[in-house]
Amino acid sequence: MAATAPAVVRVLASSVRIADRAGDIIREIMAKGKLGIVEKTGKDDLQTEADRSAQNCILASLLHQYPELKVVGEEGEQDLSQIPSDWIVKDLEENALDLNCTDAFKSAKMEDLTVWVDPLDGTAEYTQVKGLLDHVTVLIGLAIGSQAVAGVIHQPYWNYKTEGAKLGRTFYGLVGGGVRGLTPVKPPQGQKIVTTTRSHGTGLIQQTLDILKPDQILKVGGAGHKVMLLMEGKAHAYVFPSPGCKKWDTCAPEAILHAMGGKLTDMKGETYKYHSEVEHRNMDGVLATAEAADHAWYLDNIPQEVKDKVKDSLRKK
Ligand code: AMP
Ligand code: MG
Ligand code: MG
């Protein structure tokens, strides 16, 4: 069946197993305790041994199975020739192969795809704060041309505070084909719960929250984790008027959210493009809602002046 499935479905099915393996590596490195932290662009942008190793696992596995695939990883170009052989995943998730694939996506070839990889989203929570490991996710997003169409989110520390419970979960989705591994829940009616960054706050973010006056604000780590809160009905909107997120942060969450009826755009309501040549940074921020119908309310209630300031609003270091 794998050989006859459309290219996008095959890469998605492989990515499910690959994300699981990357999650094992992230847990193994934490258990050993040698995180090997380095600052990339500054203290707000860290990389650990787990980010590097998980990316090596994901890229080597994808390129082993699909040498012609375009893959962009957060940690940039790395030497894949020396990695342990048991990091190279050679199988795929058979259950994903029967996802409904629209005719337009079916005709996409391997060379039409770009895969965006955030090997460890929520590095600040992984390294700096005790008790927030379940904010960490592995994100593998697939674009056909410019459109984010499919994604995998693996949460390696799901359930880690519940003794005896199964540790970790993986879910995935395809636009037009639905979601597997997670049952979406609608957020409570009659309230506005907004989630935003915990560790990359700015004045403009606070100003936006003051204008929106949500009933509750959930400041948590990770782009993947915040979109997951929308999917699980714990928040109505993810509001991030900052240019801090990159395409690897939003590709997988956007695709899965769209597959379940939500909407993710920039703060002006424009959809991001995900072809391999696109600028990595999401310059106009992120605005996502659990239900697509709620998106316009946020767009209408955020002043143009705020929207125009997003791209220049990064905190001065
Ligand atoms: P957060 O919501 O703060 O956990 O951020 C979500 C994702 O965007 C993570 O991958 C962060 O590393 C990244 N990010 C957000 N803001 C910044 C920033 N100011 N500098 C570097 N990375 C950022
Ligand atoms: Mg990230
Ligand atoms: Mg990352």
Both structure tokens of 250: 């939003």
The residues facing 263 across adjacent strands are 289
Distance 103 CA to ligand 2 centre (A): 32
The structure tokens 């069946």 sit at: 1
Distance 220 CA to ligand 2 centre (A): 13
Both structure tokens of 287: 């605005």
Name the residue among 274, 208, 289 with its Cα closest to residue 241: 208
Which amino acid residue places its CA nearest to atom 14 of ligand 1?
Answer: 244
CATH 3.40.190.80 in the chain, residues?
193-315
- Beta strands 193-197 and 216-220 are parallel
pLDDT for 317: 42
Give the chain's radius of gyration (CA, Å): 18
Consecutive H or E run containing 282: none
- Active site (annotated) includes residue 284: no
pLDDT for 41: 85
* 263: three-class secondary structure by DSSP: strand
Name the residue among 195, 170, 125, 240 with its Cα closest to residue 23: 170
Q: How far apart are CA 91 and CA 155, in angstroms?
A: 20
CATH fit for domain 193-315, picks 3.40.50.11310, 3.40.190.80, 3.90.660.10, 1.10.8.80: 3.40.190.80
Distance 130 CA to ligand 1 centre (A): 18
- Beta strands 216-220 and 178-180 are unpaired
Which amino acid residue places its CA nearest to atom 21 of ligand 1?
Answer: 45
Q: How far apart are CA 70 and CA 276, in angstroms?
A: 7
- Report domain 2-180's class: alpha beta
Which ligand is located closest to the Cα atom of residue 124? 1
Which amino acid residue places its CA nearest to atom 15 of ligand 1?
Answer: 244
pLDDT for 292: 98
pTM given for the model: 0.98
pLDDT for 44: 86
Q: How far apart are CA 131 and CA 113, in angstroms?
A: 37
Which residue in 123, 137, 197, 208 is the catalytic one?
A: 123
Q: Which atom of ligand 1 is nearest to the CA of 223?
A: 6
Consecutive 10-residue averages of pLDDT for the chain (317 residues): 90 98 97 91 90 98 97 94 96 97 97 98 91 97 98 97 95 97 96 97 97 98 98 98 98 98 98 98 98 98 98 74
Name the residue among 119, 99, 88, 111 with its Cα closest to residue 19: 119
Q: How far apart are CA 143 and CA 15, in angstroms?
A: 13
CATH 3.30.540.10 in the chain, residues?
2-180
pLDDT for 316: 53
The structure tokens 């170009």 sit at: 77
Which ligand is located closest to the Cα atom of residue 125? 1
Distance 225 CA to ligand 2 centre (A): 10
Name the residue among 74, 247, 68, 54 with its Cα closest to residue 154: 54
- Active site (annotated) includes residue 51: yes
Q: How far apart are CA 50 and CA 37, in angstroms?
A: 9
